[in-house]
Amino acid sequence: MKTNLPAFTALCVLCLASLAVTGVIFLLPPMSRAAVQQVETGTLRSGREIYLAACASCHGADGKGVSQSLLGFDIPPPDFTDCDFASREPDADWITVAHQGGPARAFSELMPAFGEVLTGEQIEEAVRYIRTFCADSDWPRGELNLPRSLITEKAFPEDEAVFTMAVNEDGKSIAAEVTYEQRFGARNQVEIVFPFGWSEMTVPSDSGTDKDWTSSVGDIALAAKRAFYHSVNHGSIISGTAEFILPTGDEAAGFGKGTFVFEPFVTYGQILPAEFFLHSQLGVELPVDSDKAEKEVFFRFALGRGFTCGGWGRSWTPMVELLGARELVSGEKTNWDVVPEIQVTLSKRQHVMFNIGVRTPVNNTSDRDVQVIAYLLWDWFDGSLFEGW
């Protein structure tokens, strides 16, 4: 069979061109050789230059991400201009993923590791540049989302579900609650707290009295939080919260106060030197029926420091809380408690955490028991409960 050489040559050129384009889209390394040479020779210095050389091929020069049709990825790249997404995580998490690759936080392997190509300083510069894509400074930065303590509230608005349980030292009382937190807008959060528990009670019997366990729902609480001030440069965030506690619990069984309670409070978070941090909270309980519950002022402080295994792995955060509460009645003393505790991230993505501690009365101990308290926390914005392990 006679072959038409010009037509065959044109077909080969077309095939080779198609393969070249496919290679560019699907097979090209995250950085070209020219870009690597620029990095090695120190030509790339600014965060913008490093980002354009190392990141823009997937994430786009504008930070919005290259379209999936061009990339050929099943998973779309994140949009760095979306402040709701981009503001939440601290720089340390972004640096970990850039340095170690997506699997370091249980994300896709499509995110390569740049740790052998870029220095730590260059990755930090690139992350600083990426931060500029979110142009709305109203969103608190993820650095201010400090680890959550057992009792003291935090100022950062968040999307979390928390299951907490407290057991008295005598084993006669178990208190539990489920807290659901939903962030909306840049600075706001709504919250619902559903408490329940079990306690041992003395009940009448044929022989006189007997011991039995009873259970009940507690006083459900609804709250709204707003961050009034935040500054990542100063490491500070201040929020105000209004909480309304409903008389849904069984007062006779000790699961409720039997009256509506309004509980406003202010929370403050501060990043301290040497990777320490501080939470503080000041508030007041104002019952509608003062015959059933006393007005009370409370003040709480939590001091902690985080440690990360190997620089990239699981985080451990020991903390200690100092809790004060005083009924606004003449002659009443302030009750002080201390709570040493430790929080640990369970999932590789660090969105599931466990914290355990012991609440110990410091004074007025005759009618106040030691409690063992623990919580399981799920930051559901970062993925489902079963993702990221």
Domains delineated in the chain:
13-131 (1.10.760), 142-382 (2.40.160.40)
User: What pLDDT was estimated at residue 308?
Assistant: 93
In order, the DSSP letters of 175-229 are EEEEEEEEEETTTEEEEEEEEEEEEEEEEEETTEEEEEEEEEE---EEEEEEEEE
**Nearest CA to 356 among 163, 156, 158, 105?**
163
Q: What angle do CA 177, 180, 185 make, to 5 degrees?
A: 155
Please state whether 306 falls in left (phi above 0), alpha (psi between -120 and 50) or beta.
Answer: beta
Q: Are 198 and 215 in contact (CB under 8 A)?
A: yes
Paired residues of 243 in beta bridges? 223, 263
Enumerate residues 6+ apart whose C-beta is below 8 A from 304.
146, 147, 149, 276, 277, 317, 318, 319, 320, 343
**Nearest CA to 224 among 260, 188, 178?**
188
Among all chains, which residue has been given the structure tokens 């929020």? 239
* Integer Cα distance of 320 and 340 in angstroms: 4
User: What pLDDT was estimated at residue 31?
Assistant: 56
Question: How many Cβ atoms sit within 10 Å of the Cβ of residue 331?
Answer: 5
Q: Are 319 and 302 in contact (CB under 8 A)?
A: yes
User: What pLDDT was estimated at residue 24?
Assistant: 34
Paired residues of 162 in beta bridges? 179, 377
Q: Are 224 and 192 in contact (CB under 8 A)?
A: no
**Nearest CA to 122 among 194, 61, 52, 188?**
52
Structure tokens at 30: 């995250």
User: What pLDDT was estimated at residue 20?
Assistant: 37
User: What pLDDT was estimated at residue 69?
Assistant: 84
* Integer Cα distance of 176 and 172 in angstroms: 14
| Eight-class DSSP state of 50 | H
| Eight-class DSSP state of 143 | G
* Integer Cα distance of 83 and 131 in angstroms: 9
User: What pLDDT was estimated at residue 35?
Assistant: 57
**Nearest CA to 191 among 182, 200, 199?**
182
User: What pLDDT was estimated at residue 332?
Assistant: 80
How long is the chain? 389
Structure tokens at 37: 């040479």
**Nearest CA to 279 among 372, 167, 145, 185?**
145
Tens of each residue's pLDDT in the chain, 389 residues: 444 434 434 434 333 333 333 333 333 345 555 555 565 556 667 999 999 999 999 999 999 999 988 888 888 999 999 999 999 999 999 999 999 999 999 999 999 999 989 999 999 999 999 999 999 999 999 999 999 999 999 999 999 999 999 999 888 899 999 999 999 999 999 999 999 999 887 666 666 666 778 899 999 999 999 999 999 999 999 999 999 999 999 988 889 999 999 999 999 999 999 999 999 999 999 999 989 999 999 999 999 999 999 889 999 999 999 999 999 987 788 999 999 999 999 999 999 999 999 999 999 888 899 999 999 999 999 999 999 99
Q: Are 71 and 25 in contact (CB under 8 A)?
A: yes
User: What pLDDT was estimated at residue 254?
Assistant: 82
